[in-house]
Structure 1
Amino acid sequence: MENLVSTLMDLVWSKPLVYGLLLTGIIFSFMMRFFQVRHFSEMIRLMFQGEKSPTGITSFQAIALSLAGRVGTGNIVGVSTAIYIGGPGAVFWMWATAFLGASSAFIESTLGQIYKREENGEYRGGPAYYIEQGIKGRFGRIYAIIFALVTILSCSLLLPGVQSNAIANSMKNAFGIEGWIIGAILAVVLAVIIFGGVKSIANVATAVVPFMAILYILMALVIIVLNIKEVPGLFALIFKSAFNMESAFGGIFGAMIEIGVKRGLYSNEAGQGTGPHAAAAAEVSHPAKQGLVQAFSVYVDTLFVCTATALIVLLTGTYNTTDGTVGKDGAPHLIKDGGVYAESAGEKDYSGTAMYVQSGIDKAFHGPGYQFDPAYSGFGSYFVAIALFFFAFTTILAYSYIAETNVSYLMQGQSKSAITIGFNIARVLLIAATVYGTVKTADLAWQLGDLGVGLMAWLNVIAIWILHKPAVKALKDYERQKKELGSGRYAIYRPDPEELPNAKFWLEDYPERLRQENIQ
């Protein structure tokens, strides 16, 4: 099975996808005149601008739900793995992926809003919806069904194991708790929350994600202060390594870019097609509003949380980097050996890279004389275990919502009880995959996760290239109204029915609501 998954992953994660994601971000950024910079303050303002309804969730709840999916194992283990394979320069390419990926996140999330629907008292939307409604015809319907099936497979079966595996490994390292016990606990807690529906998931995400992300970033800031003299040299190392100017890491240039982009996408999910599901659930008066909010969530994930991880391990030096070769003893050859996990790291076994962060935190508080001891569970082990638990757990919650949305899409027209049965099957599969992830090998877990991400990314990136024009036009319309009205707060989306005949919510439902509320 591992050989099959590895072969499929190599096919999916080929160079066209890696460099295609970067190229997509560059072109979309130019199309929208680098809105990532121009509207930075607007993104923050819109995030806290509450618009509520019985049907939709607020923008803040939507970004919290989206961040629940973005901020997960990739922010700790993924970043550490990127440094292990690609060296410090991989961090720069993660930053580049986030900055450019914000444009892809805007396009897909705005499309999610434009083509959303109201189903059983909740807003539903995402790539399957905008693929069918935007591309139209038989091809659009078949394409949408394929995306929905791949997404259900990925979010219910392939991706949860990565998150739960990281939780199990970190908990065992810190507290000595066996994986099967963690699996049982996760199963019970997950069942209580996900059977409560989208608002239950959003409420948990809203409470947990901001708190844990801020706490994690604060930990990084403390370590920066303790190592303030090393910061200029560290950033010089990142940039020199990123452009092949650092001799120690020069031989891994290609691997650095590829792993930086791959782990950047795995973490921030820009262009993958997960963000639009949460974006579509928000109650807003203009699709571009939620598109801007979702673009900011990419910054939070990669530029803030992932950078926090990178700074912890790079400032303290508790990381290893391999050149990809294996010695006679079967262990990978290291071109940088931070003395952490080197003795047990296999060629593709990255489960121990979380120890870079754990050891980095311990070293920061113990001083330069600290020596890593894998048998020792210090404050760093406890902190990372708890952070990973909350990050990864909320990501699994987000996967549940995404899977349900695609089940809802496939079961359109069915009775409410039939749809509920479909939801419950997806929920049970997700819980089973989560439990399985706590006891299977880390290598297989990551390869399954990468396969799921790659398949979704291929399908969604092609779709947003075909359908990007309405989203770009929505941004221009929002900018025009903002300028005319003096504030984007009062911007209302009124699409042209001839251009977007399938944007039925904005053409029929929303105008009727405005009429009832006597808003012109």
Structure 2
Amino acid sequence: MLAEINTFLNDLIWGSILIYVLPILGIFFTVSSRFVQFRYFFKMFHILRETAHDKDGHISSFQALMLSVAGRVGGGNIAGVAVAITLGGAGSVFWMWVIGLVGMATSFFECSLAQLYKEKDGLDSGVYRGGPAYYATKALGQRWLGVIISVLLMITFGFAFNATQSFIISTSFEATFDIPTWISGIVLTIVFGLTIFGGVKRIARMSEVIVPVMAGSYLLIALVVIILNIGEIPGLINMIVTEAFNPSSAIGGGIGAVILQGAKRGMFSNEAGLGSAPNVAAVAYVGHPVQQGIVQSFSVFIDTIILCSCTAFIILLSGVYTPGAQGVQGVLLTQNALIEQVGPLGGYFVTIALFLFGFSSMIYNYYLAENSLNFFSKGNKTAFNIFKVICIALIIWGSFQDLGSIFSFADLSMGLLAVINMTVIALLYKPVLQLIKGYERQVKEGKVPVLRYNDYNEFKIDKAIWKEIVDNINDKKS
């Protein structure tokens, strides 16, 4: 009975609410901001160049971006895209692109808000904290809402998703290398434990190393496949666009199924609007919230437009996919497609990629849960250490469990989190528009933008934090 209720609620939230709310609000944010994700797309590179190192012990904008990409990029890029193509055909890739481009605006809004309303970490004075729980509490004055958001984040990311990632990695290694799951689980637990006990800065540094290697390797193998089939690329892109509006008769459900699968996989993969990325965005040391909003919107682009497209091209160029066929799907379809293109080593590559994607997601998931704990504990070291031990125990436990029901429950809690977060962002869109205007005004004046915090008295921000940041930046300029 509980399973049926869980399934019903999941179908209701994801299939009847978020499937419409996320793209509609994404379009609203895009239009109201005058397509901010496109206007400032190339400025992102300038921002990263300026903040590619630690700022007086704080986490840089680049490190925050890598930590965010670590979470967005995961199994959804390898297995999720394959599921979308299996159920929605090649045309689903087009709608995945659309939802990614629109989601960039949503991510910009939620991450700019996280920066604006961030606060100092009671546990480590060198780290900031923020996210949906913080801006819902400060901006709306509703602490109960912040408590609900924090609990949902802890359950979803800290417990369920990390145990699930452990299960996926361990079983993948067993299938490919014949390594028992308990051995993989122990090794994974040790590496994970060493990482999280090093604090937020070590987590950021680990992501700074893993993510470029992970994403770069996957992009490289995709480029190899594309080069080997370069003559087919124009026809493939034409097929994707054509199938998006006129799907093959072999695809059950017609154009509705194509749009649904592309949108769902895009949303699951890039997490725009789900309330997870803002927790990371708040950590970065930047002079103006818009700067990190621009950078974080780029992480959606990396995830959906670049890496999801890599998987789609690998599958569609391989010839192993047959429209309407329901046999092999998920990670096996991606694995078979790569084996077809580059030989048996392709299968090993997918397993290693899953490990890197999965482990980086575990680091990210833990950080989200720790950030939620900080909302309650305000830097209590004992609470943090107990929490770390529980998270570590769940990693080794997850390596030999069947986590289907837990993962389903996590989907439900994440869906509830997304509904709450999107509602809060919609209520707080005006502060973001004011941030954009203030940022653009300073750019036109030829100045390096910093937050003029006295212009935001009505929004209940922590002026002390922003005064410290702005004064420090001005001192260095002078």
Pick the TM interval, shorter chain. Answer: over 0.9
Check if 1:491 corresponds to 2:449: yes
234 and 512 in structure 1: CA distance in 2 versus 1, 3 angstrom threshold = closer
1:251 to partner: Cα distance: 2.7
Query: Which residue is equivalent to 2:7?
Result: 6
Cα contact 2:120–2:128 (8 A) shared by 1: yes
Check if 1:440 corresponds to 2:401: yes
1:518 to partner: Cα distance: 7.5
Check if 1:238 corresponds to 2:240: yes
Which residue, out of 300, 311, 325, partners 1:336? Answer: 325
Which residue, out of 422, 443, 467, partners 1:482? Answer: 443
CA deviations over 1:480-512 (Å, ceiling 9, x no partner)? 211211x6xx21111324322333345543355
Query: Which residue is equivalent to 1:39?
Result: 40
Aligned 1:302-317 pairs, distance under 5 A? 302-317=304-319
Query: Which residue is equivalent to 1:180?
Result: 182
234 and 429 in structure 1: CA distance in 2 versus 1, 3 angstrom threshold = farther
1:442 to partner: Cα distance: 6.4
1:426 to partner: Cα distance: 3.1
Aligned 1:84-233 pairs, distance under 5 A? 84-119=86-121, 120-121=124-125, 122-136=127-141, 140-233=142-235
In the superposition, the TM-score normalised over structure 2's length comes to 0.93
Query: Which residue is equivalent to 1:297?
Result: 299
Residue type of the alignment partner of 1:126: G
Residue type of the alignment partner of 1:228: I
Which residue, out of 390, 396, 402, partners 2:356? Answer: 390
Task: Please give the alpha-carbon distance, in whole angstroms, between the structure 1 residues aligned to 2:300 and 2:354.
Answer: 19
1:4 to partner: Cα distance: 4.8
Of the structure 1 ranges 89-98 and 428-437, higher mean CA displacement relative to structure 2 is found in 428-437
Cα contact 2:37–2:108 (8 A) shared by 1: no
Aligned 1:338-353 pairs, distance under 5 A? 342=327, 353=330
1:38 to partner: Cα distance: 1.5
24 and 116 in structure 1: CA distance in 2 versus 1, 3 angstrom threshold = same
Unaligned stretches of 5+ residues in structure 1: 322-334, 346-351, 367-377
CA deviations over 1:204-236 (Å, ceiling 9, x no partner)? 000010111011011111101111222222222
Of the structure 1 ranges 163-172 and 99-108, higher mean CA displacement relative to structure 2 is found in 163-172
182 and 445 in structure 1: CA distance in 2 versus 1, 3 angstrom threshold = farther
Cα contact 2:156–2:411 (8 A) shared by 1: no
Of the structure 1 ranges 222-231 and 443-452, higher mean CA displacement relative to structure 2 is found in 443-452
255 and 172 in structure 1: CA distance in 2 versus 1, 3 angstrom threshold = farther
Cα RMSD (Å):
2.2
Residue type of the alignment partner of 1:491: P
Cα contact 1:69–1:399 (8 A) shared by 2: yes
Cα contact 1:29–1:100 (8 A) shared by 2: yes
Which residue, out of 72, 78, 85, partners 1:70? Answer: 72
1:264 to partner: Cα distance: 1.3
Query: Which residue is equivalent to 1:83?
Result: 85
Cα contact 2:63–2:204 (8 A) shared by 1: yes
Cα contact 1:173–1:381 (8 A) shared by 2: no
Unaligned stretches of 5+ residues in structure 2: none
CA deviations over 1:369-423 (Å, ceiling 9, x no partner)? xxxxxxxxx21111011111011101110111111111111123xxx4xx22222
- Matched residue SS, 2:251: helix
Task: Please give the alpha-carbon distance, in whole angstroms, between the structure 1 residues aligned to 2:9 and 2:168.
Answer: 23
Task: Please give the alpha-carbon distance, in whole angstroms, between the structure 2 residues aligned to 1:237 and 1:518.
Answer: 54
Cα contact 2:66–2:207 (8 A) shared by 1: yes
236 and 161 in structure 1: CA distance in 2 versus 1, 3 angstrom threshold = farther
Query: Which residue is equivalent to 2:335?
Result: 358
Task: Please give the alpha-carbon distance, in whole angstroms, between the structure 1 residues aligned to 2:244 and 2:414.
Answer: 24
CA deviations over 1:172-227 (Å, ceiling 9, x no partner)? 23212232222222111111101111101000000010111011011111101111
- Matched residue SS, 1:248: coil
Which residue, out of 402, 422, 431, partners 2:368? Answer: 402
Task: Please give the alpha-carbon distance, in whole angstroms, between the structure 2 residues aligned to 1:238 and 1:357.
Answer: 18
Cα contact 2:81–2:308 (8 A) shared by 1: yes
In the superposition, the TM-score normalised over structure 1's length comes to 0.85
Task: Please give the alpha-carbon distance, in whole angstroms, between the structure 2 residues aligned to 1:7 and 1:438.
Answer: 28
Of the structure 1 ranges 205-214 and 470-479, higher mean CA displacement relative to structure 2 is found in 470-479
Task: Please give the alpha-carbon distance, in whole angstroms, between the structure 1 residues aligned to 2:246 and 2:409.
Answer: 31
Which residue, out of 248, 251, 265, partners 2:250? Answer: 248
CA deviations over 1:74-112 (Å, ceiling 9, x no partner)? 111111122222222222222111100000100011111
Which residue, out of 461, 468, 478, partners 2:429? Answer: 468
263 and 438 in structure 1: CA distance in 2 versus 1, 3 angstrom threshold = farther
484 and 513 in structure 1: CA distance in 2 versus 1, 3 angstrom threshold = same
Cα contact 1:116–1:505 (8 A) shared by 2: no
Residue type of the alignment partner of 1:148: S
Cα contact 2:442–2:449 (8 A) shared by 1: yes
Query: Which residue is equivalent to 1:329?
Result: none
Task: Please give the alpha-carbon distance, in whole angstroms, between the structure 2 residues aligned to 1:305 and 1:395.
Answer: 15
Cα contact 1:74–1:266 (8 A) shared by 2: yes
Structure with greater helix share of residues: 2
Task: Please give the alpha-carbon distance, in whole angstroms, between the structure 2 residues aligned to 1:463 and 1:201.
Answer: 28
Of the structure 1 ranges 464-473 and 428-437, higher mean CA displacement relative to structure 2 is found in 428-437
- Matched residue SS, 1:40: coil
433 and 288 in structure 1: CA distance in 2 versus 1, 3 angstrom threshold = same
Cα contact 2:119–2:465 (8 A) shared by 1: no
Query: Which residue is equivalent to 1:30?
Result: 31
Task: Please give the alpha-carbon distance, in whole angstroms, between the structure 2 residues aligned to 1:389 and 1:35.
Answer: 35
Of the structure 1 ranges 171-180 and 434-443, higher mean CA displacement relative to structure 2 is found in 434-443
Task: Please give the alpha-carbon distance, in whole angstroms, between the structure 1 residues aligned to 2:6 and 2:320.
Answer: 31
Task: Please give the alpha-carbon distance, in whole angstroms, between the structure 2 residues aligned to 1:13 and 1:467.
Answer: 23
Query: Which residue is equivalent to 1:369?
Result: none
Cα contact 1:170–1:354 (8 A) shared by 2: no
Count residues with an aligned counterpart: 472
Which residue, out of 438, 462, 470, partners 1:503? Answer: 462
Cα contact 1:156–1:427 (8 A) shared by 2: no
- Matched residue SS, 1:457: helix
Residue type of the alignment partner of 2:391: L
Aligned 1:14-25 pairs, distance under 5 A? 14-25=15-26
1:459 to partner: Cα distance: 1.4
Cα contact 2:451–2:470 (8 A) shared by 1: no
Cα contact 2:155–2:410 (8 A) shared by 1: no
